[in-house]
Amino acid sequence: MSTLSEELLALAPAGVAATPDLRNELRFTAAASALHGFVAALRDKSFEMLVYVTAVDNYLDEPRFEVVYGLRSLARNVDARIHVPVPGEEPSVPTVTDLYPAANWMEREVWDMFGVRFEGHPNLERILMWEGFQGHPLRKDYPLLGNTPGTPGHLGKGGKA
Amino acid sequence: MSTQVDIVLDRPEQKSEHQILNMGPQHPSTHGVLRVVLELDGEIIVKATPVVGYLHRAMEKLAESMTFHMFTPYTDRLDYLAPLANNVALSTAQEKLIGIEIPPRAQAIRVLCTELSRISAHLLGLGAFAMDLGAMTVFLWAFREREKIYNLIEHLSGARFTTSYTRVGGVASDIPEGFLSDLKAFLDQFPAQVDEFEKMLTRNRIWVERTKDIGVISREDALAYGLTGPNLRGSGVAWDARVKRPYLGYERYEFEVPVGSVGDCFDRYLCRVEELRQSTSILLQVIDKLPGGPILAQDSKVSLPQKSKVLQGMDELIHQFILVTEGQDAPVGESYFGAENPKGELGFFFRSKGGGYPDRMFIRSPSFVNLQILPLICKGRFISDVVAILGSIDFVMGECDR
């Protein structure tokens, strides 16, 4: 595993580091500026599938968000995960939709749920919540109780439903 | 769930012959609450835009305030056609995070659960697919078989749909008396039923004309769009997590992975039919090889003690109390596990800060990812082909919208 990790790191632009995870899986931490180049390099090294894109909110820590990319190489039968730390103020990362069409909805979901912008995304709209919804529900500071005015089921008093 | 139709209608060139047709969210062939906005030129589709999110229940947010066991019932509502397989995927992912091995008997029971769910889910997929294209008989036959499976599942777990059968470290209860002989009786008659389905469809001229060379997904597109499950294998990619990276002791069973050649609706149909047969074979092997021993990991910090012992022993009572109130103490870190479910890869990504509650849980839903290819393969086809394509992709909105 470590040799593969070194092999892939040799292709990586500056700003990428190997950070093995709990179960010793292939895991990298990349700066937002290095992300697109690194993903492109991995794709050319037989990582032909983007399995998921998600994010983690480290509320009260800085950098606040982490965008997580899961890539898979079928030929090598190995998964790689890339973590991209993003600051809490106006979070944004470059899109990878030009490399993997699958990223389109996945990135829209992260934008919808966490409010992380994907620069260069062809259609960055909400996907699970409706148009006009306020806020990003999977952020840790999104309130768990109460109704937002304008949402279906709102009682008109702003209290608990 | 963005209101794309308004955007499209605002376009000035909309005065041309292009027409907007809303298919769903209540259309019978959309299998739930999927809405497809079709931009039509006569009967030809210029653009198809799937609109999802009508069944969003914020499951990932809910999981953040729940212990690992508390989330299990929610997975029954993910892919509600294969609740047992979802339970298994969740618990296996949690065990990977916590870092425990489960006993061989629990593994075998979980394989049994997954394959039984696969048969049931594929039966509904095939039945509904056939009914949408007018073959009502197959639908009724498939539901007759599904009813038998639900009786088996009820016997096994106590519930027909909301099973919640797995626990961290194993399963909730052992296989009840008489279950294996009932299952064997079902499996003995099932291959003949699959042959009957095939007789009705595989060489049926209407069926072939409506599915062959319709909705072709090339190998490259299937990979680029991240498809998994029978949709990926229908396009000729022999990827099956059960074979490539065996979990739950799948390496102990012999089975084949059916692969399509063209990647059209017909190939995806054939893949599912063959998977019915392969799952039957796996189930028969499970019955033959079912090991004895405990059904829960013998680790009192992780798996619940036996109820009879809780009522008598001090240690067991304390462990049960801690596990129910505080949950399993997961290590700090993260892990991802993807299980080969009927619809594709159902994955769970956990980020833990220690303690019994995950800091973040992400559900990688196969239906959500598989649906994304719809605009690509609908373009330039007839409206009636959309029905065939939707049926062949075989998605569940409960899982797609989470």
Can you say how many angstroms the Cα of residue A7 is from the centroid of all Cα atoms in its chain? 24
Does the pLDDT at position B126 exceed 70? yes
What's the structural domain count of chain A? 1
CB proximity under 8 Å: B 265-284 to A: none
Average pLDDT on B243-248 reads: 89
- Other beta carbons within 10 angstroms of residue A22's beta carbon come to 18
B301-328 pLDDT, tens digit each: 888 888 888 888 888 899 888 888 888 8
Domains of chain B (ranges; CATH) run 59-401 (1.10.645.10)
Q: Which residues in A93-123 are b (16+ Cβ under 10 Å) and which e?
A: bbbbbebbbbbbbbbbbbbbbbbbbbeebee
Report the DSSP beta bridge partners of residue B36. B23, B50
Q: Is the separation of the CB atoms in B71 and B90 below 8 Å?
A: yes
Neighbouring CB atoms inside 10 A of B223's CB total 21
Contact: B53, A74; criterion CB under 8 Å: no
Taking the CA of residue A50 and the nearest CA in chain B, the distance in Å comes to 6
pLDDT band at B184 (very low <50, low <70, confident <90, very high): very high
Is pLDDT larger for residue B13 or for residue B115? B115
A51 inside domain? yes
CA distance B97 to B332: 9
Q: Mean pLDDT, to the nearest integer, of B14-30?
A: 73
Give every CB contact of residue B41 below 8 A, 6+ residues apart in sequence. Answer: B17, B18, B19
CA distance B300 to B275: 38
Q: Please report the pLDDT score of residue A160 as a whole number.
A: 44
Binned at pLDDT 50, 70 and 90, residue B30 comes out as: low
Helix, strand, coil content of chain A in percent (nearest 5): 20, 25, 55
Q: Looking at the partner chain, which of B96, B239, B401 has a beta carbon nearest the beta carbon of A74?
A: B239
**Domain assignment of residue A148, yes or no:** no
Confidence (pLDDT) at A158:
46
Assess if residue A140 is contained within a domain.
no
Do residue A48 and residue B60 have CB atoms under 8 angstroms apart?
A: no
Residue B12, pLDDT score:
52
3-state per-residue secondary structure call for B220-282: HHHHHCCCCCHHHHHCCCCCCHHHHCCCCCHHHCCCCCCCCCCCCHHHHHHHHHHHHHHHHHH
pLDDT of residue B16: 62
Q: What token pair was written down for B135?
A: 């073959």
pLDDT band with cut points at 50, 70 and 90 for residue B386: confident
| pLDDT for res B328 | 85
Query: Encoding tokens for residue B392?
Result: 């062949």
Q: Tokens 């497809």 identify what position?
A: B36
Q: List C-alpha distances in Å: B178 to A13, A21, B31, B157, B181.
A: 61, 44, 35, 13, 6
Quote the pLDDT of residue B402.
84
Whole-angstrom distance, CA of residue A146 vs CA of residue A161:
6
Contact B237 A74 (CB under 8 A): yes
β-partners of residue B49 are B37
How many angstroms separate the CA atoms of B100 and A48, rounded?
31
In a domain, A125, yes or no: no
Please state, in angstroms and rounded to a whole number, the distance separating the CA atoms of residues B111 and B246.
11
CA distances A27 to A1, A39, A119, B244, Å, are: 11, 13, 23, 20
Instruction: Identify which of A52, A56, A105 has the shortest CB distance to residue B347.
Output: A52
- pLDDT at residue number A14: 75
At B160, list the tokens.
């027909």
Residue A126 and residue B223: Cβ atoms within 8 Å?
Answer: no
- B349–chain A Cβ distance below 8 A for any pair: yes
Q: Two tokens at B226?
A: 């991240």
- The CATH number of the domain holding residue A28 is 3.30.460.80
Q: Which chain B residues are Cβ-neighbours of A54 within 8 angstroms?
A: 349, 362, 364
Q: Tell me the average pLDDT across B244-250.
A: 89
B67-79 per-position pLDDT tens digit = 888 899 999 988 8
pLDDT at A152: 62
Residue A52 lies in a domain: yes
Tokens, residue B184: 């064997």
Grouped pLDDT means (10 residues each) for chain A, 161 residues: 74 78 83 89 88 90 90 89 89 91 91 90 87 83 72 53 40
Percent of residues, chain A, with pLDDT higher than 70: 89
Single-letter code of the amino acid located at B215: G
| Contact status, residue A106 vs residue A55, Cβ threshold 8 Å | no
CA A81 to chain centre: 11
Average pLDDT over residues B152-167: 90
On chain A, the residues whose CB falls within 8 A of the CB of B351 are: 56
Across the beta sheet with A49-57, the strand order is: A16-18, A26-30, A78-86, A65-73, A49-57
Tokens 């229940």 belong to which residue? B57
Q: Is B240 on the interface with A (CB under 8 A)?
A: no
Residue A84: inside a domain: yes
Residues of A in contact with B349 (CB under 8 A): 52, 54, 68, 70
Q: What pLDDT sits at residue A161?
A: 40
Residue A129: its H or E element: none
Cα dihedral: B389, B393, B397, B401 (round 10): -110
CA A37 and chain centroid, separation: 16
- pLDDT > 50? residue B84: yes
Give A-chain residues touching B330 at CB under 8 angstroms. Answer: none
Residue A113 lies in a domain: yes
Nearest neighbour of A137 by CB, restricted to B61, B244, B349: B61
Rounded to two decimals, the pTM is 0.87
Please enumerate in sequence order all residues whose Cβ is within 8 A of that of B382, keeping only pairs 6 or more positions apart, or say none. B43, B44, B45
Select from B379, B273, B361 the least CA-distant residue to B93.
Answer: B361
Residue A131's pLDDT is 79
Domain of residue A23: give its range.
2-119
pLDDT of residue A159: 43
| Half-sphere exposure at residue A120, Cβ-oriented, CA atoms within 13 angstroms | 9
Q: Which of B8-17, B206-215, B238-247 has the lowest mean pLDDT?
A: B8-17
Least Cα distance to B114 among B93, B87, B94, B95 occurs for B87
Does the structure show a pLDDT above 80 at B118? yes
Chain A / chain B CB contacts < 8 angstroms: 103
* Nearest-angstrom CA–CA distance, B304 and B294: 12
Q: Is residue A151 part of a domain?
A: no
Distance from CA of A157 to the nearest CA of B (A): 23
Q: Which two tokens stand for residue A10?
A: 């040799």
Q: Which residues of B118-143 are buried (b: 16+ CB within 10 A; e: fewer)?
A: bbbbbbbbbbbbbbbbebeebbebbe
Query: Closest by alpha carbon to A68, among A47, A80, A84?
Result: A84
B330-341 and A16-18 beta bridge pairing: unpaired
Q: Tell me, what amino acid is at B263?
A: G
